[in-house]
Structures are given as structure tokens and as C-alpha cells.
Amino acid sequence: MRKFLIDTDTASDDAVAMCMALRHPDIDVVGFTVVAGNVPLAQAVQNALYTVELCGENTPVYVGHGRPMLRDLGTAQDVHGEDGMGDIGLPLSGRTPAEGWAPEVIVDTIRQNPGEITLVAIGPLTNLAAAILWAPDIAEKVERVVIMGGTGEHGPGNVSPTAEFNFWVDPEAVSVVLRSGMPLEFVGWDISIESAVVTNERQEQLRALGELGSFSVDIQATLQGFAWEETRLAGPDFPDPIAMAHAIDPAPATMEHLGVDIAVGVEPMRGTMIVDHYGFAQLPKNVNVVTHYPEDAFFAMLTDLLR
């Protein structure tokens, strides 16, 4: 059993990614750490607890940072709904998280399982940066760190002309992570809009799978409108699930080992991922950037795990 520790700002696409990991027969999800991002922290925690319960599991959910390192929190409730889960009336309150602070849980889990933890970060990187600043030694003890964030190869941003939301929320945290020496793998929003758009046909295929498939479609209700009106996609896209697919099976991916940095200033460049494709900036090569993940491989895995 491979051990996954998942850091999430649980909203509609995060929940689908969580279901994928919880349903995989060869993955032991040792815990979920929650950070503010798509929604405020308390709501993200409740969304995570609901999703774990829906999957019939009792995986612990830990509370983390409620705001970025140096900035006020900007959420994506206009994209995912006020409750982050499409505002479809789910009972997203009243559940109790596990005792423990998320950055401390990240440190302790990696130290207690050296070389065994795949850390999957599908929200802003505030919890992970805090863990690194507190315990830099975890960088050499974690097996893999798969991060959904940025735009690595091509494509625009989804919160500004050039920035992806997770990196825009807390670019200072991204900077800490990039300089940590961790074995980083980035799956950007460009990969999602290329290979993880859930068209009407795909939605019907997911609904036909049963409860989890229908859940995965229904909670995209607000995102569906955002996709049609703002990003002009043929349906909601699944950035966190395709990042989870890569964490589960990186074999189909095309990756390049590249130098990466982050713009930490003000708009319009805030949170822009800087990729030194041609070596002009002579950035140290610090990230395996996913430049392609096949659509068929992603949807085959998604369908299999939600069936």
C-alpha cells in the first residue's frame, strides 16, 4: 500500500480528487490536511469531512492555516459556490475534525514514514510552506510531492491573465516550497483544460456510475456556469482530479525537469509561475513539470475509481 497525505482546500474538484484516492485499492490515505483557499477554512474542513464520510471511510481530517502567509485570503466562491460544493443543499456542517494542526501533521507523518509518503497538495501551499519552515529536514524524507498549481507549458491563468488560483492565493508559500529541495512534480491548470474537461457526454457517463459519479457531477453546478461564461470551456474542468491521477499513476505523463520560480509581487503578475524552458534565467532545475497527461488515461482512471 502506498501512503498518501493530501493537503486540500476542499471544494468541488478537490472532493472528486479525494474520492479517487480513497477508492484506490492500493493507496492508504493516511490523512487530509486542510487549508483555506477555494472557501474559508471552516467550510473547507466540513467539505472534506463530508467527502470522507460519503466514501465510507474514517480518514482523519486536520485543520490548517486559515489565511495565506502574508496576504488576506481571496476565495473562489464565485467559481465553486458559497459552500464550495455547488450550493446544491448538501449537509456540510456539524462534523468534527481530528485533533492536530495540519503543518505539524505533515512534519510528523513524513518523519515517521521516511521515504514512504506521497504528499499531494491540491490547494494553496500555505500548510506545506509552514511545515518546511518549521522542519526543513522533511524535504529529503518525502518520497514525492505532487502539486496542482500554476500553468507550466501553455495556456492562460484562471484568476488573472497569467496566474492559476492556488499559486495566486499564496505566492510566498510557493516560493518557500520551490526553494525547499523537495522532489516536486507540478500539474498545472493548462493540463486540466487540455485533458480534463467534463463535457455533457462525460457528465452522463459519470452519472451512470452511481452515487459517487453523480456526486462528482452535481457538485460542479456553480463551476459549470463559470466554465461556460468565463473560461469558455465545454464544461467544468477537473484540475485536482487530474493531478491526483498523476500522483496515482505518473506513467502516462510527459514531464520535463525545469527551473521554476514564482512572481510574488502585486497584480497583474502576482502568482505567475515562471518556467525557464530555454535556460535564459539559468534557474536551478527544481521541478518535474507535467507537460501532458492523456485525456483517455485520465478519464479511464476516473471512471474506474468512481464506479
Give Cα separations from 169 to 13, 132, 134, 220 (angstroms).
17, 18, 21, 21
Lowest average pLDDT, out of 22-26, 170-174, 229-233, goes to: 229-233
Residue 3: is its pLDDT beyond 80? yes
pLDDT at 140 over 80: yes
The whole domain housing 77 covers: 2-306
What percentage of the chain reaches a pLDDT higher than 90? 97
Average pLDDT over all residues of the chain: 97
Band of the pLDDT at 14, cuts 50, 70, 90?
very high
Burial-class residue 280 by CB neighbours within 10 Å (0-12, 13-18, 19+).
exposed
pLDDT score recorded for residue 85: 98
CATH number of the domain enclosing 154: 3.90.245.10
At 208 the pLDDT is 98
Res 34: pLDDT: 99
Closest CA to 78 of 237, 230, 200, 215: 230
DSSP state of 169: H
Q: What would the mean pLDDT of 191-203 be, rounded to a whole number?
A: 97
User: What pLDDT does residue 115 have?
Assistant: 98
Per-residue pLDDT reduced to its tens digit, 221-256: 999 999 999 999 999 999 999 999 999 999 999 999
How many domains does the chain contain in total? 1
Residue 156 has pLDDT above 90, yes or no: no
Asked if the model's pLDDT at residue 153 lies above 80, the reply is: no
Read off the pTM. 0.97
How far apart CA 179 and CA 54 sit, in angstroms, is 37
Give the cell for residue 150. Answer: 500554476
Residue 62 has pLDDT above 80, yes or no: yes
Residue whose grid cell is 474542468: 237
User: How many helical (H) and strand (E) elements, i.e. helices and strands, does the chain have?
Assistant: 13, 9
